Structure formats: C-alpha cells, structure tokens
Chains A and B, each alone.
Chain A
Amino acid sequence: MIALLLILIPVIGGLIALFIKNENTVKGFSLFISLITLVIALFGVYSNQTSELHYNVSWMPDLGSRFTLGLDGLSKILSLLTAISLPVIIIATYKNTYANTGKFFGLMFLCQAGMLGVFLSMDALLFYFFWELALIPAYFLCSIWGGERRIQVTFKFFIYTFVGSLLMLVSILFIYFKTADHSFAMQSFYHANLTASQSQWMFWLFFIALAIKMPIFPFHTWQPDTYEQAPTAVTMLLSGVMVKMGVFAVIRWLLPIFPNASQSNSSIIITLSVIGMLYASLIAIRQDDIKRLIAYSSIAHIGLMCAALFSNQQVGMQGVLIQMFNHGINIIGLWIVADAIQKQLGTKKFSELGGLAQKAPTLAILFVVMCLANVALPLTNAFVGEFLMFNGLFRYNPIMAGIAGISIILAAVYTLNMIQKIFYGNTVALTEKAYDSSFNINVALIILVIVVIVFGVYPQPMLNLTQSGVNTLITKIP
C-alpha cells in the first residue's frame, strides 16, 4: 500500500495543482503534498512488512504484464531521495514566480510520480511506462519555462532520450519472448533464456538507453545545454533525481538480466566512463559559467558511478547506491546557490563576480560546505560513497582506478576555483550592492547541509539499507 501511495499522492496532487489558479495557494498546496510524500517515503524506509511494501494487481493479462510495485533496499534509497528533493526544491524556489504557477507545479509532481514509478516498478513493461512518463512532464517544463534557447535544446534532450528508450523497449520485448512463462515480471526477466549472442545484442540495446539517461561519455551532449536552459527547479529535479534513473536501471535490470554480457563488456564501458570523467572534468575547469560547471561536474560523478557498477565488486556497488543518494543531495545544493546568485545579481559568470562572501556570509558558508561535499572531502556524505566506489574500481583494475583518481584532483581544482572566484577576493561593481540569501534559501540549504554532515559522520544506516540490496544482486552475478 505504501508503494502505491507513493505514486498516487503526487499524481493526484499534481492533477489538482494543474487547475489551481491562485499562486500562493498552489505553492502552499505543493509544499504540503510534497511533505506528505516525504512522510510516506520515510514510513516506507522504516517499514519491514512485505504486505505494506508491495502492491500487485492484474493490469494487462493479455500481454503478461502486472501492475507490480515494491520497495526493497534499492528502491527505498531512491524513493527517499525523490521524496526529499521535491520539498527542498519547492522551499528553495519558493520566491520564484512563474507564469501559470499551477501548471508548473502540477507537471513537477507528475514528473516526480513518474520517477517514483521507475524506482518502484517490479514489472518491465510498467517500468518502461514510467520511464517515458517521467520524461513527458520534464519536456513540457523545460520547453515552457526554460531559457532563451529552450525549445531546440529541450527537443534535443527529448529526442535523444526517446531514441534510447525505444531501443530499450525492443530489448524488453525480445527478452519477454524468451522468458519461460511469457511475463514481464522481474523474476521471470532475471531467468530469461538468452543465448550468448542474443544477450550481447540486447545488452547493448538496453544499455544505450541508460547511457543516454545517465549520461555516459559519447551520449552526454544533451546534458549541459539542457541543465543550463531548464528552469532551475527543473534542473534540480533532472540532475538530482532523473539521471539516477539510468544508474538505477543498470542495477535493477541490466546487470541481473545480462550478467555475462555485462561482465564481458565491462572493460569497454568502464573505459568510456573513465574517459567521460576526465573529459568532463577538464571541460569543467575551462568553464566560466556556474551552471555549466555544475553540469560537467555531474557528468564526471555519474561516470564514476557507472564505472564502479561494472567493476562487479560488492563494495563498489554499495558505494554507488550510497552515492546515488548523496550526489542527488549535493547537486541540488549547488544548484540552489547558483540560482540564488543568478536571481540576485543577474549573471552566472565567475569573471563578473567576486568577494561575495563579504556581502553574503551565510550563503558563502553553506555553499562552501556543499562544494566540499561535491569534492568528497572526508566527513561529508560523498566521501563514503566515493571511497567505496574507488575501492571497487581498484580491485577491478588498479590502473583504471588511478586514471579515474585524477578526476578527483580535477574536481577539487574546478570547485575550489569557483568558490574562490565567486566568494573571495575583492568585491566588484556587481557584488558591491549584494545582500545575503533569503530565508527560504537558507532553510533549504541548511536541510541539505544537515543531511550532508549527518551521513558524512554516521553513514551506517545508509550502509545497512543498501547491504540487503547489494547482497541479493551479487548472488545474481557469476
């Protein structure tokens, strides 16, 4: 029942929000709905009763698909992330105004529902449905409320991901015909009878969809533009949660369905991921735009997650699970600050900023904490995850781990460089009249900072939560 509620509440809330005209009512209502979702997600995380966590009804008997939702260790973490991020986003952007506020928040909730559906569904066709449904609201959100080049950029994003997901659909269909009982259920998929060459082909069809979504190196070109052009609240949702859909699907579907194919292709994928990490980090160093820098830094982080996943090591896998959550938290924090600066000063170029710390000390402190988390300093949440991931990657191939390690140094370079240029040094004309961040931004950032530090100092609950998920997964992989 909890699993069903997690999807139903955002859907119903979103549909209602679409038709509310009054701006303040919409915002209050949205915050309320997102908090309810959060409470339910917390219930889900702490509950252990299977009957509450699973939901299973007949849906399309003709096709062998059932409406199956379930919360296990893996989906618990991600639904928690999804449920936390929305209230934080709403608080942080509470003062932003939109034309047609009701439509904006309604679509945000529908997008959230789609993503929760992806994380909860235990049926491949249902998974595909939600995978697409998360995309449609995001497309409208970016294209209606985005920046100047929004239409072309968002369309590129849409076509890119749509091509990927159609290829994934072909793969899902193919596997369906190879399952023993002709069903889309997760367990049947795990035991599908594929020959070696079939599973190679289907692996790649499936993987391209996920590689585009994550994104992995040659498929990443949609991402920086989209993040830059989308309205900030949507960028947070996309980068914080939606890219995790790709990583998640690797863990949930790709690795268990194609254990052999993923092992034999792991060297290619890890190489691509590592190239992507270095490439993105190097580009990030050359950026003069906060938003683009964060976007590239996100590519680097996701690359590491993907590499660790295919290293086939238990520790690496566990690191990815933790890092998915933490990366979501950290990147939302960075976007909040970037948005605050852009809203206040009208620019997002470092070269036009400087000395902001003197004028906005609270913002500076909170931003520095988020940045340190982004470079995975010990005692921040990201450290645990990155440590485990590098550990896994090192066991797979020390040289790869060494090359990937360079990106950590590069991450420190560009992140600290950004802090320095924006917040320290002498004030310039633009920052002369700057003032400190507003109350709602502080609240949102403080929530995130608390999460960062709590899970940095005491990661054990997170490790426990992921342990079960990883254990069941490892047994699937030879």
Chain B
Amino acid sequence: MNAIIFSAGFGVIMMFCSFLISNKSSYRHIAVVGLLLLLVVNVMETNGFDIFHINSYGMLSYTRFGLFFNTIAIGSTLIYVLLTGKDIERLGNYVAEYFTLIFFVLCGVCILSSYNNLLMLFLGIEILSIPLYILTGSDKRNLKSNEASLKYFLMGAFSTGLMLMGIALMYGGTGTFSLDVVRSQTGLYKGVSFLEIIGLLFLMVSMAFKVSAAPFHFWTPDVYDGAPGVFTSFMATVAKVAAFVAFLKLCYVRMTATSTAIDWQLLFAIIIITTLLFGNITAVFQQSVKRMLAYSSIAQAGFMLFALFSLNDFGSKGLLMYSAAYCLATIGLFAVLVKMKDVTFEGYNGLAKTQPVLAATNAIFLLSLAGIPLTAGFLAKYYMLASVIATGSYTWLVVIAVLFAAVSVYYYFRVVQAMYFKTGDPQTEPITGSFKIGLIALAAIIIIIGVLPQTLFNWLYF
C-alpha cells in the first residue's frame, strides 16, 4: 500500500510544484527525492513495515514477488530520471507535469503488481496507460508525436474495451471479480464455463496488446518511434514489464484453473513464435536505431512471454530478472540515444573515438540485450529458456527461440560495429561528467547482476 499511496500523492505534489516553483531545473531534483522516498517506503513494506493500514477487502494482495517488482520498477525509474532528467527539461514548458505523469504511471505499476481483483487490474492498466498517451504526444509541435499519440490512444481504447468485455464475460462465467476466490461448485458456476474461457481470451488479447506481443504489436514501432525519445525509454521499459507482471498473475491464477478446457500453452507458443518472428526479422531491416530498439522491444517481449508460457518458478524469477536486465539496458541505450543528434546507424559511426565512455557502456547494454554471458541479459534469457525446458515439453520452442536470439545479435551488433569499427563524426549534445558516471554505474550494475545473480535474488528471500 505504501508505494501506491506515495506515488499518487507525489504525483499531486508535483502538479502543485508546477505553479508554486518557477525554477525549471528544480522539478527534476524534487522528482528524484520523490522517487528515493518511494523506493524507501517500498523497501520498508517489503520488510513488513506498512505505514497505511487500509483494508482493500481482498482487492489487493501484497506478495514478496510484487513488492520486489515494485522495487525494480521504482529503481529503474530513478535511474531513468537521473540519466535523462535534463533531456526531459529540454522538451517543453510543462516539465513538472511530465514528472507528475511519470509518478501516476508508477502508481499504476504498483497496482498492477498487487491486484487481486479484475477491477483493480482494469484500474491499474488505465492509470498506467492514460498518462502514457499524454506523454507520447508531449512534443506538441511535432506531427509524428501527435500522430503516435492519437494512434496509441485509439488502439489503447480499443484494447481497453476488449478488456472490459472480457472482465464482464468472466464475471458472467464465474460470478466473481476476485482473482483467486474458491470457485463455488454449485449450480450455475459448476466447472469451467464457456463464458469464462471467452472472457479470458478477450483479456489475453488486450494484455497482449499492452505488452506488444504479435499479432497485436502493430502500434508499437510507430508509437515508440513517434514519441519523444525520453518517453519512449520509459514506455518501453517500466510500463511494459509492469503489464507483463500483471499478465503473469492473471495466467498463474485463471489460466491454470481453466487449463483443462483449453490448451493455453499452445496458444502462447503460437504468440511467442509470431512475436519473435515479427520483432526480430523487422528489426534487422531498420535504418534508425530508435526504430530498431522499438522492434527489439517486441522481440524481447517474445522472450518474456516464456514466463507466461511455462508458469513455473524459473519463469517468474526469470521475469524479475528479465525486467531488471531489460529495463536497465534499454534505459541506458535511450539515455545515450536522446543525446545523439542523428539517431540512424550512421549517426553512431565512430562514437568510440569521440566518446569512448558512451560507446563502451552502450556496447555493454547491447551485449546485455543480445544475451551475451557475463551480463544480466544472458541470465534473463537463461531463466526463460530453463523455464520452458523445465516443463518437459515444447523443447523445440527453445531451439527456435535461440535461433531468433542469434538474429537479434545481428541488429544489436550493427550499433557496436558503427561505434567501434567505422569512422565518422558523431554529433552529440554536450555530455557532462556526471552523466558518464551514471552510465558507468548502470553498466556495472548490469555486469554485477550478470556475474552474481544472487545479489538480485537475495532480495526476494530475505
């Protein structure tokens, strides 16, 4: 409860700041303080110290998993604001509002990690999405940004409609909104009803839309490309993995309960293969690093879907690992990307000569996304593959997945090639020393998690 209330409250505070404080650069510092506070209260709650005792009547339930995910999401946001806060300021006149919206998104994230009721799921998704629609269109004078925002909004509204429909059908099928209530075995609701399955399918489609899984991914490249780079970074990372965590919970409870009636694994296998196919193959042909990262985020979603496919301990731990690895690496990449004047592959040519620190850290982020050992990205992929093999069937799916992982190496390494092996004169915004230190720290975190995953997972147990 701590994190939900604090993040919402801080969002309101940031709103008031916009007319109480006129100094533009102080918003960033206030946001950092807010995020630190948020992190502290969340860790406090993880250790059993809850400030607010509010009875949610079973609509929210706090698990170690969810709280730990909150820590990852809030920590990633903190790193994001520290690295790209200055670039957010360059964007326009409503800096405080941007931070406000980010806090509201975090509130949605915290609800999604702890919901126990389909209505809360809906609330969480909406609280998460609506600020994102606004952030996408925050570059008011840019047509592409406007187009992306409208597109995102329309498609998002459509998927929300599907979700509501699904929830209603599920209510009709089971007689409850609650996620894990014991099914009444009498009368109307005996066994698995047809309505529930249809409802779940609707929910699955709308969630697949939110996590940009194929064939519901078509909005992703345009929106990620059109949105200002600073917000793409946030959308593609924290918001996306939060939707995954919500999806995982839904699958864990409802899909296992109905697995006798429908073969969810087969459905997920199809979704995974199409996601990996579309994401990876299209990413290969991109000319702009930003658009490549948009497609790569689809491809990474394909790997994260393995957790929903296998629904075991490896999968849920792997999703945490994946969220950390993917968020950190992508935030780092975007932090550098928004500093570049030219975001095509050519724009990166020769970066290693002019900005060795940026190039080296970027290389580590890319290696992590590609899943090279010694980085967090490897272990994340490892857990996902292990989760599938642990189920004992569908081993061929793993073989296909690793072949696509090899394809992903192709486009990630194109950036490495541009930075290190080609010559050019890349133009960047002025780079400060503290930005470089931040990048180095981020790269160090990625490597530490990659070598000693226990540092991350000890949090889960103690």
Task: Give A residues with C-beta under 8 Å from B.
Answer: 59-63, 128-129, 132-133, 136, 140, 143-144, 150-151, 155, 158-159, 162-163, 166-167, 169-170, 173-174, 176-177, 201, 205
B453: chain A residues at CB < 8 Å are 60, 62-63
User: Which residue on B lies nearest to A61, using beta carbons?
Assistant: B454
User: Which residue on A lies nearest to B395, using beta carbons?
Assistant: A174
Q: Within 8 Å of chain A (Cβ to Cβ): is B191? A: no
Asked if B413 and A155 sit within 8 Å, CB to CB, the answer is: yes
A173-B373 contact, Cβ under 8 Å, with A155-B417, A163-B403, A166-B402: no
Could you list some 22 contacts between A and B, CB below 8 A? Answer: A59-B452, A60-B452, A62-B453, A63-B382, A129-B374, A132-B373, A133-B374, A140-B420, A143-B420, A143-B421, A144-B421, A151-B417, A155-B413, A163-B403, A166-B403, A167-B402, A169-B385, A173-B385, A173-B386, A177-B386, A177-B390, A201-B395
Asked if A133 and B373 sit within 8 Å, CB to CB, the answer is: yes
Question: In which size bucket is the chain B interface?
Answer: 20 to 34
Asked if A158 and B413 sit within 8 Å, CB to CB, the answer is: yes
User: Which residue on B lies nearest to A62, using beta carbons?
Assistant: B457
9-residue interface stretch from B105-113, B138-146, B273-281, B404-412? B404-412
Say how far B349's CB is from chain A's closest CB, in angstroms: 12
Say how far A334's CB is from chain B's closest CB, in angstroms: 28
For the complex, give the distance between the alpha carbons of A173 and B385 in Å.
8
Asked if A143 and B385 sit within 8 Å, CB to CB, the answer is: no
A167: chain B residues at CB < 8 Å are 399, 402
B409: chain A residues at CB < 8 Å are 158-159, 162
B198: chain A residues at CB < 8 Å are none
Q: Within 8 Å of chain A (Cβ to Cβ): is B13? A: no
User: Which residue on A lies nearest to B399, using beta carbons?
Assistant: A170
Say how far A225's CB is from chain B's closest CB, in angstroms: 16
Asked if B406 and A162 sit within 8 Å, CB to CB, the answer is: yes
Q: Within 8 Å of chain A (Cβ to Cβ): is B389? A: yes
**Which residues in chain B, 11-42, are within 8 Å of chain A measured between CB atoms?**
none
Asked if A151 and B402 sit within 8 Å, CB to CB, the answer is: no
B413: chain A residues at CB < 8 Å are 155, 158
Asked if B385 and A170 sit within 8 Å, CB to CB, the answer is: yes
Q: Within 8 Å of chain A (Cβ to Cβ): is B242? A: no
User: Which residue on B lies nearest to A174, using beta carbons?
Assistant: B389
B317: chain A residues at CB < 8 Å are 62
Q: Within 8 Å of chain A (Cβ to Cβ): is B83? A: no
Asked if B457 and A136 sit within 8 Å, CB to CB, the answer is: no
User: Which residue on B lies nearest to A198, using beta carbons?
Assistant: B395
For the complex, give the distance between the alpha carbons of A63 and B417 in Å.
33
B454: chain A residues at CB < 8 Å are 60-62
A176: chain B residues at CB < 8 Å are 386
Q: Within 8 Å of chain A (Cβ to Cβ): is B128? A: no
A166-B420 contact, Cβ under 8 Å, with A62-B454, A174-B395: no
A170: chain B residues at CB < 8 Å are 385, 389, 395, 398-399, 402
Most chain A beta carbons < 10 A, residue from B389, B402, B405: B402
B319-330 vs A: 1/0 string, CB under 8 Å? 000000000000
For the complex, give the distance between the alpha carbons of A128 and B395 in Å.
19
A163-B406 contact, Cβ under 8 Å, with A173-B385, A174-B395: yes
Q: Within 8 Å of chain A (Cβ to Cβ): is B367? A: yes
Asked if A166 and B417 sit within 8 Å, CB to CB, the answer is: no
Q: Within 8 Å of chain A (Cβ to Cβ): is B119? A: no
Say how far A109's CB is from chain B's closest CB, in angstroms: 16
Q: Within 8 Å of chain A (Cβ to Cβ): is B179? A: no
Q: Within 8 Å of chain A (Cβ to Cβ): is B195? A: no
Q: Within 8 Å of chain A (Cβ to Cβ): is B357? A: no
**Which of A59, A136, A159, A174 lies in contact with B367, CB distance below 8 A?**
A136
* 6 closest A-B pairs by CB: A166-B402, A163-B406, A129-B373, A132-B373, A143-B421, A173-B389
For the complex, give the distance between the alpha carbons of A128 and B378 in Å.
11
For the complex, give the distance between the alpha carbons of A140 and B413 in Å.
11
For the complex, give the distance between the alpha carbons of A143 and B416 in Å.
11
For the complex, give the distance between the alpha carbons of A278 and B320 in Å.
52
Say how far B384's CB is from chain A's closest CB, in angstroms: 11
4 further A-B contacts with Cβ under 8 Å, apart from A59-B452, A144-B420, A151-B422, are A159-B410, A166-B405, A167-B402, A169-B402
**Which residues in chain B, 357-382, are within 8 Å of chain A measured between CB atoms?**
367, 372-374, 382
Say how far A148's CB is from chain B's closest CB, in angstroms: 12
Say how far A350's CB is from chain B's closest CB, in angstroms: 31
B372: chain A residues at CB < 8 Å are 132, 136
B420: chain A residues at CB < 8 Å are 140, 143-144
A129: chain B residues at CB < 8 Å are 373-374
Most chain B beta carbons < 10 A, residue from A132, A150, A162, A167: A162
B422: chain A residues at CB < 8 Å are 151
Say how far A368's CB is from chain B's closest CB, in angstroms: 38
B385: chain A residues at CB < 8 Å are 169-170, 173
Asked if A128 and B373 sit within 8 Å, CB to CB, the answer is: yes
A133: chain B residues at CB < 8 Å are 373-374
User: Which residue on B lies nearest to A135, using beta carbons?
Assistant: B372
For the complex, give the distance between the alpha carbons of A63 and B373 in Å.
15
B405: chain A residues at CB < 8 Å are 166
B386: chain A residues at CB < 8 Å are 63, 173, 176-177
Asked if A166 and B406 sit within 8 Å, CB to CB, the answer is: yes
Most chain A beta carbons < 10 A, residue from B390, B392, B395: B395
For the complex, give the distance between the alpha carbons of A360 and B453 in Å.
57
B452: chain A residues at CB < 8 Å are 59-60
Say how far A174's CB is from chain B's closest CB, in angstroms: 6
For the complex, give the distance between the alpha carbons of A143 and B418 in Å.
11
For the complex, give the distance between the alpha carbons of A150 and B422 in Å.
11
Say how far B376's CB is from chain A's closest CB, in angstroms: 13
**Which residues in chain B, 409-462, are within 8 Å of chain A measured between CB atoms?**
409-410, 413, 417, 420-422, 452-454, 457
Say how far A226's CB is from chain B's closest CB, in angstroms: 15
Say how far B361's CB is from chain A's closest CB, in angstroms: 15
User: Which residue on A lies nearest to B405, using beta carbons?
Assistant: A166
For the complex, give the distance between the alpha carbons of A60 and B458 in Å.
12
B402: chain A residues at CB < 8 Å are 163, 166-167, 169-170
User: Which residue on A lies nearest to B317, using beta carbons?
Assistant: A62
A174: chain B residues at CB < 8 Å are 389, 395
User: Which residue on A lies nearest to B414, using beta carbons?
Assistant: A155
